[in-house]
């Protein structure tokens, strides 16, 4: 498991939607934030590539102003470009950005976009104040589809004990492989991070290439008590028992990619036992 560091800060701030109670200042008040999952199909190599996904993603981020964005099928430069857009909707806040490339089995290097940039997954969030390093956990799944040269990756950012935010893009060529990757991520990798660093509420957003009600069923890799929402197909957001998921909506991408944007509201229950204080 590769571990790196980015400059970040203290607890995640929250833009409180009207659906949640406002005005409370007691310790039991949940931390509320909006999360956006995007699969941009932007390698330039896949059939779903249009060259227009980045422009639409920028529009969606500008309009919806999410607190957390999980990104699949992007080039490394895409994260840098969206970093600027994300910063513009959160002026005065420190933006945390992380990227993890997918591996390329034949070369032993990273998978590359058509223009030579590294291809993989990313994450954007914002924090209250600068000064505290935020740890990034990332790696490739131990089980891969050997018929696919792309080695699928996972990525998590620990923002000063407030939230472990994660993303992944699972195997698209072997659904049983995708299920194994999902099981290992949720049952082994994320709990191991919690045991080694101290528990914190955890949310995972990504294109899992699994569906509810199909064989294999994405629900079989969701731990007991975890909440899960999806886009009706392959993109999912799943969260630990101290996070309530609500207000799911699909934001059209107007044909710029083969997935809609999945927007979800999270309420983190800070009064639940077993987690580090923020």
What the chain holds in terms of domains, given with CATH numbers, is 31-268 (3.60.10.10)
Per-residue pLDDT, 138: 98
Strands 202-207 and 164-169: parallel
Interval 26-67: pLDDT, tens:
456 889 999 999 999 999 999 999 999 999 999 999 999 999
**pLDDT band at 4; cut points 50, 70, 90:** very low
Per-residue pLDDT, 1: 38
Q: Which two tokens stand for residue 9?
A: 């800060």
User: What Rg, from alpha-carbon coordinates, does the chain have?
Assistant: 17
Q: Is there a contact between 58 and 105 (Cβ–Cβ < 8 Å)? A: no
Per-residue pLDDT, 9: 25
Average pLDDT of every residue of the chain? 87
Statement: residue 8 has pLDDT above 70: no
**pLDDT band at 158; cut points 50, 70, 90:** confident
Q: Which two tokens stand for residue 24?
A: 């409370």
Beta bridge partners of 190: none
Interval 163-188: pLDDT, tens:
999 999 999 998 999 999 999 999 99
What whole-number distance in Å separates Cα of residue 241 and Cα of residue 245?
10
Q: Is there a contact between 40 and 71 (Cβ–Cβ < 8 Å)? A: yes
What whole-number distance in Å separates Cα of residue 48 and Cα of residue 255?
9
176-181: long-range contacts, CB 8 A cutoff, minimum separation 24:
176/216, 177/143, 177/144, 177/145, 178/208, 178/209, 178/210, 178/216, 179/210, 179/216, 179/218, 179/220, 179/221, 180/143, 181/141, 181/143, 181/152
- Which of 95, 150, 175, 86 has the alpha carbon at shortest distance from 127? 95
Q: Give every CB contact of residue 206 below 8 A, 6+ residues apart in sequence.
A: 37, 70, 72, 121, 166, 167, 168, 169, 170, 235, 236
Distance of CA 12 to the CA centre of its chain: 15
């Amino acid at each position: 498991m590769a571990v790196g560091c980015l400059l970040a800060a203290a607890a995640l701030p929250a833009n409180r939607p009207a659906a949640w109670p406002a005005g409370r200042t007691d310790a039991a008040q949940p931390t509320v934030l909006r999360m956006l999952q995007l699969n941009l199909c932007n390698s330039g190599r896949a059939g779903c590539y249009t060259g227009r996904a980045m422009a639409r993603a920028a529009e969606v981020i500008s309009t919806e102003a999410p607190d957390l964005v999980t990104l699949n099928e992007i080039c490394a430069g895409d994260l840098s470009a969206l970093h600027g857009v994300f910063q513009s909707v959160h002026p005065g806040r420190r933006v945390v950005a992380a990227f993890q490339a997918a591996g390329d089995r034949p070369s032993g290097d990273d998978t590359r976009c058509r223009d030579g940039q590294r291809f993989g997954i990313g994450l954007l969030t914002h924090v209250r104040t600068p000064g505290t390093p935020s740890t990034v956990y990332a790696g490739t799944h131990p089980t891969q589809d050997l018929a696919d040269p792309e080695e699928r990756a996972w990525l998590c950012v620990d923002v000063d004990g407030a939230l472990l935010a994660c993303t992944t893009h699972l195997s698209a060529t072997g659904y049983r492989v995708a299920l194994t990757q999902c099981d290992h991520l949720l049952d082994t990798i994320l709990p191991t991070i919690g045991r080694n660093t101290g528990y914190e509420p955890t949310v995972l957003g990504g294109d899992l290439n699994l569906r509810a009600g199909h064989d294999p069923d994405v629900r079989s890799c969701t731990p007991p008590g975890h909440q899960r929402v999806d886009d009706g197909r392959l993109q999912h957001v799943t969260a630990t028992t101290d996070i309530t998921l609500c207000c799911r909506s699909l934001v059209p991408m107007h044909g710029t990619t083969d997935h809609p944007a999945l927007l979800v509201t999270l309420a983190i229950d800070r009064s639940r036992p077993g987690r580090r204080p923020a």
